Structure 1
């Protein structure tokens, strides 16, 4: 079987002539197959340069023709341009092709019209697909857990579905593809067959950011045992600088960035807010509510109530460096008996209802006597899990990320308040312009601080005690230069 690939520009006469002959041979020879690649003018040169680099060729014009041995995608054997293709066709098949200039010109016009229709159809199809990018280390088991739930979020898909592109900053593409194949096997029991083709591995950051609507950053950026704090922060800052450089060049204005990493997540988000000038800063968020999920279990145990009756407590701080989990402000769903007036007059024996049972939301402060003990127990438990697994616990982070995605992409606006690392606007006494974990709410599909969140004097004191260390770090590392007066007008 002879497999030929003919690549070129759709307005190139030599390319169109070669395609015409290849199609003729396909129809008349049972063992001749041709694959056609058309690249418009702006894409042709970069594509040709990449092919030359990949196969160590030195081709410089349209068309480029090669033969693949045994099967489509087999070992490529370089032929050259149209003249070399003619020579091959004459030697093997005794075929000569002569077309008048007028006929060839008409063929080029027809091909251009066909190419434009194909481009239009691809653009429409591409427009209706949600483009999602995930960067990080794929050996991290959090990826499988996230994908299992992400592909089942119906609101995350557009009418044409969704496409998830994966990029491993430090990995080899072939190794990454093998890992992704294993991940696909893992998620098969949880996903419909149609969802298994949503994953692709890309080789460059540009490939993941072009047309990307949602970017999720994973990975372990936590401090190493032998690492000084300054060196640790510089390492994290350098990684965010590299990411922001790519975002500023290739990303769309409305790109949403979610940092779901371990380590100084608010510091990293602050760095992106400082350096990403091409996207909205309210679209840069850091997962922080997972910090409150661990203590919640111990608080429920201490208060002798079911865990599902408690909502996650507010999480404040520069997560990864310092934080305060306000367990006393966790919300509990309580069943409250509300009697009618007839209870006062009832002398017994009445068959009429005497009241109703209603659900009421209350702060859990009156049930949690020792929040510090619950926080200490949760912290020590997390350290034990990390030591046993040789990695950070992941389930709380997965749960928080999926909850965020469901809120952010819900078809109906939500008034839910969640803890999230977002750009501060000065609320609660937090310095403006840095990413700080605090209660957040959606405003016109952008995350902003929920300044009306009720807090106690004790909470205000705890927040104020976090600020000096945060200010010292941001000043030392020259991060978060914004002030309330210098924030962009679209943010205020």
Structure 2
């Protein structure tokens, strides 16, 4: 089979003549195939230079014709311009062209008009698409690689027809981001409209509908000498970055944007800093995710009771998600437990009544949850990306209305007026979702001991914020005294 490629400027008369000659050959010869590439006049030189460089050819004018080696593989063989193509057709197929100059010019003008109409139609079609804009920071992290395939799905966004994904990594390599973009496009996900990559804040969070802020690589750049100095430098870096993020979100994102802060370091602090710098967006649109801690606690309880992790529900995480926290089982239920009392699949029992040992719940259990993630990280030598991803997806599904109104989630949110907590502090508390909006779960017991814990967690977070301010030394001394 003979396969030729004909490329030229849309308004080129010789391209028009070669095109009609090729059509004639294709009608006459069953094994002749032609591919046409019509290039707009202002794009022709750049396209020609790139094509010649890629194939090692030399060619200067329109059109350009080459033969593809369909049966033998390898790169194509350059035939030349219109004259070379005409000569080839005369010699091999005894077919020529006698088109007049006037007809050539008429066809060339028609080609240009048709091309411009097609471009206008495509632009109009694209303008009708209203994609959901999702931004992900630290896009080169392992968590992002797990997140992308599941994030761009109708299961997470059931009422969305298209998604534009924006990958941001300020410390990232542009070439690595290019590969990530290519890999994402190769997934051929139905909802994916386009992927853009960014290594600076020039366009950050523009038109954002959903923002996922993953862990930044703070510790890698920090001096590992004095622990207090390391923490101070880390918090200062976070404070500077997230104040800027907050200002950008306030001015660039859509006003109903959903912002999720996730990761293993200073999660509550990062969310709090965003809220300090956002003035035009409802604070209910900013959350941190404690679902990973919930699931890790469920896994420990499930192992002790010899049930599946999914058989444990409604675990509550109070406090600082990446700092001091408390796992509360007051509403936790256990399904399919092989005990003295049994029932059908929908039958459950209170976890605390089965786990009767209060000492274990208050000591060993809390310590096991704190060590669980560190143990996974040490064994795999990387962050627990799968569980972080699973936690974020669970919250996003609930936020988009894909959950039961009775399901309890632990999320870090701004808590003024709840449980006598101070203003400006983001703490993990239990919430439920109804019609895509979360509300604080009030049907929980908050005794004196838990209230005291919450005040300590709030104090810890206040000190973290103060550590990042310019007068941190004076503030810390005041708190210590």
* Band of TM-score, shorter chain: 0.5 to 0.7
Given the alignment, which residue of 189, 192, 214 partners 1:218?
214
Q: What does residue 121 of structure 1 align with?
A: 125
Unpaired segments ≥5 residues, structure 1:
7-17, 38-61, 78-83, 87-91, 98-103, 340-354, 480-492
Q: How does 1:159-170 map to 2 (within 5 A)?
A: 160-170=161-171
Q: Any unmatched runs of 5+ in structure 2?
A: 23-34, 63-80, 84-99, 103-108, 471-481
- Aligned CA distance change for structure 1 residues 276 and 301 (closer, same or farther; 3 Å): same
Aligned residue number for residue 409 of structure 2: 418
Deviations 1:418-473 (A, max 9, x none): 00111223201222333211112335533343334343443223223322222333
Distance in 1, matches of 2:385 and 2:325, equals: 19
CA distance in 1, matches of 2:114, 2:350: 71
Q: 1:96 to 1:244 in 2, by over 3 A?
A: farther
Q: Using structure 2 for the length normalisation, give the TM-score.
A: 0.68
Describe the SS at the equivalent of 1:69.
helix
Residue in 2 that maps onto 1:51: none
Find the partner of 1:313 among 309, 312, 315: 315
Alignment of 1:136-215 (within 5 A): 136-138=138-140, 140-156=141-157, 158=159, 160-181=161-182, 193-195=188-190, 200-203=195-198, 205=201, 209-215=205-211
In structure 1, distance between residues paired with 2:182 and 2:259: 26
Aligned to 1:432: 423
Aligned to 1:364: 352
Given that 1:166 and 1:199 are in contact with CA atoms closer than 8 Å, whether structure 2 keeps it comes out as no
Secondary structure at the counterpart of residue 156 of structure 1: coil
Q: Does residue 1:451 correspond to 2:442, yes or no?
A: yes
Q: Give the aligned length.
A: 409
Q: How does 1:3-402 map to 2 (within 5 A)?
A: 27=19, 33-36=37-40, 66-69=46-49, 71=51, 118-124=122-128, 126-127=129-130, 129-138=131-140, 140-156=141-157, 158=159, 160-181=161-182, 193-195=188-190, 200-203=195-198, 205=201, 209-220=205-216, 223=219, 225-226=224-225, 228-333=230-335, 359-360=347-348, 362-364=350-352, 367-369=355-357, 370-371=360-361, 372-402=363-393
CA RMSD of aligned residues (A): 4.8
- Secondary structure of the residue aligned to 1:441 is strand
Alpha-carbon shift at residue 207 of structure 1 (Å): 5.3
Query: Alignment partner of 1:262: what SS?
Result: coil
More moved, 251-260 vs 383-392 = 383-392
Comparing 234-243 with 142-151, greater Cα deviation is found at 142-151
Partner of 2:96: none
Q: Report deviation, 1:268.
A: 0.3
**CA distance in structure 2 between the partners assigned to 1:424 and 1:167 by the alignment:** 29
Cα distance in 2 for residues equivalent to 1:255 and 1:401: 16
Judged with a 3 Å threshold, the aligned counterparts in structure 2 of structure 1 residues 20 and 404 are, in CA distance, closer, same or farther, namely farther
Q: Per-residue displacement from partner, 1:303-342 (whole Å, max 9, x unpaired)?
A: 45543321252111122232222245433347899x9xxx
Following superposition, the deviation at residue 147 of structure 1 comes to: 2.6
**Which digits, 9 at most, give the CA deviation of each residue in 1:378-398, with x for residues without a partner?**
333432332333332233212
Contact 1:251–1:278 (Cα < 8 Å) also in 2: no
Q: CA offsets per residue over residues 346-395 of structure 1, 9 Å max, x none?
A: xxxxxxxxx99972453525515212202213333432332333332233
Aligned 8 A contact 1:303 1:368 in 2: no
Distance 1:362 1:169, change over 3 A: same
| Structure 1 residues 266 and 21, CA gap change in structure 2 (3 angstroms) | farther
Conserved in 1, the CA contact under 8 Å of 2:211 and 2:260?
yes
Q: What TM-score, normalized by structure 1, do the two folds share?
A: 0.66
Q: Distance in 1 between matches of 2:267 and 2:315?
A: 19
8 A contact 1:26–1:34 mirrored in 2: no
- Is the CA contact 2:318–2:429 (under 8 Å) kept in the aligned structure 1? yes
